[in-house]
Amino acid sequence: MLGWDGELPSPTVRTIEEMRPVLADSSCSGEGPLYSMYRDLAKSDADWRWLHSHHLRYDLTVIPPRDLCGERVKTKGHYHPKTPAGMGYPEIYEVLEGQAHYLLQSRDLRDIVMIRAGTGEVVIIPPGYGHVSINPSPDKTLAMANIVSTTFESEYGEYESHHGAAYFDLCTGELRKNPRYPAVPPVRFVRARSGHEAHRIVSGPLYSLIGNEKALDFLNRPEDYAAILDILLKD
């Protein structure tokens, strides 16, 4: 796989049955995994020990192209809880292969954002936003890496209770509002970025940041980087 040398461990997979509650068409049928998650990876024991000593995890997610009864294939969607200081945990992604749509929504549903990212681009999911990762391509696989704090568990409940995100990304290119949500604003489109020039937090590739405590500190202590994180989704 691009971005990874050698064999990978057995992945955790999401099936269509597991994803059915969050699909635009909950009656959609099909077989086989929709996407695969390779979690807690490292290319050396030293890298693995460094990640764990800093409460971090490096993952890969592979999403083959698929039409889910008119909807683009996607991840389930989740939020992150707050740190002890009261600020949500962020997450950072890198597109290794293919194209990605990251559909973000604030917990209060006052802001819905779409970030379109291509190969080599890095995207930070800022505190307070849930997110779904989508493969918009009809024929190319999306492979992406992420680094995230290990001090919390992702929260899927709000996506499950609303049967998906506030919008569905359809194969026609339409973003259709999920009728199970109350009134929400239209989707804002923001370019992929990890900060602005002097205010940039990190640059990829992500794996090269392992061992760089300063670069990844924001994942566990976002409150110390609030001013920078706040500008990530500015137009």
Question: Given the DSSP bridges, would you call strands 129-134 and 100-106 parallel, antiparallel or unpaired?
Answer: antiparallel
In residues, how long is the chain? Answer: 235
CA 37/CA 32 separation, integer angstroms: 14
Structure-token match 């899927």, residue found: 156
CB-CB neighbours of 173 under 10 Å: 8
Q: For residue 77, what pLDDT is reported?
A: 97
Q: For residue 144, with 0-12 CB atoms within 10 Å meaning exposed, 13-18 middle and 19 or more buried, which class applies?
A: buried
User: Is pLDDT at 151 greater than 60 in this prediction?
Assistant: yes
Decide: 62 and 36 in contact? Cβ < 8 Å: yes
Question: Using 50, 70 and 90 to split pLDDT, how confident is the model at 4?
Answer: confident
Mean pLDDT of the chain: 93
pLDDT of residue 1: 66
Per-residue pLDDT tens digits for 60-99: 999 999 999 999 999 999 999 999 999 999 999 999 999 9
Identify any residues that bridge with 169 across adjacent strands, giving them in sequence order.
175
pLDDT of residue 173: 97
User: What are the helix (H) ranges across the chain?
Assistant: 16-19, 45-53, 157-161, 213-216, 226-229
Under CATH, which number does the domain 12-229 receive? 2.60.120.10
Angle at 174 between CA 166 and CA 156, to 5 degrees: 25
Task: Report CA torsion sign: 80, 84, 90, 91.
Answer: negative
Percent of the chain with pLDDT over 70: 95
Token pair recorded at residue 117: 């990212």
Q: What is the pLDDT of residue 29?
A: 87
The per-residue pLDDT for 192 is: 83
- The string of pLDDT tens digits covering residues 43-62 is 999 999 999 999 999 999 99
